[in-house]
Amino acid sequence: MNNEIERKFFVKQLPSLEGIEPIHYERYILSNENGKETRIQKVNDSYTYEEKVDVSSLGRSRTKKEISKEEFDSLKIESKNKAIVRDRYNMSTNPDIAIQIYHGEHEGLVRAEVEFESVDEAKSFHP
C-alpha cells in the first residue's frame, strides 16, 4: 500500500505534446462510497485492480494488484458505469505532472494531474 497526494486542474490550453508517447487507459469504477473507490483498469496492455481510500482532502491510500485480461473482462461487465477512457501524457517529474485527455463519454475534458511528496508542497503549488 502506498499513499498519493495530488491536485487536479482543468486545462484550457494544451501545451505541446509532440514527442510524448501517450499511455492509454480504460477504467471502470466498481464501487465508490464512504471515501473508498474500487476500480479496474487497462493501461496499455496490462490490467490492474485498485482500491483507493481517502485519508485527507488531498491524499488517498492506494492498494493495487495485477489481474489477468480474463479477470478484467469479467469484472468490467459487473460495473454499473461506462468506461472512462483517456490518454495520459507525462510532462515532468518533481513535481510529477501529467496531461490527461479524455475520450468517449467525457470527450473534450482535459486535466492536469500533479502529484506531490507532501501536503504542504501540494498546498503551496501554483499552476
pLDDT in tens, 92-102: 988 899 999 99
Instruction: List the chain domain ranges.
Output: 2-124
Task: Say how many residues make up the chain.
Answer: 127
Greatest alpha-carbon pair distance for the chain in Å reads 43
Cα–Cα distance, 121 to 73 (Å, whole number): 39
Going by C-alpha positions, the residue among 60, 51, 48, 66 that lies closest to residue 4 is 60
pLDDT above 80 (res 40) = yes
Number of other CB atoms surrounding residue 77 within 10 Å: 7
What pLDDT is recorded for position 58? 83
pLDDT (mean) for 88-114: 94
Q: Under a CB-based contact definition with an 8 Å cutoff, are residues 119 and 56 in contact?
A: yes
| 2-124 is classed CATH 2.40.320.10 | yes
Average pLDDT over residues 58-85: 93
Q: What is the mean pLDDT of residues 94-120?
A: 94
Q: How far apart are the first and last CA of the chain?
A: 29
Which pLDDT score is estimated for 25? Answer: 97
pTM: predicted TM-score of the whole model, two decimal places: 0.86
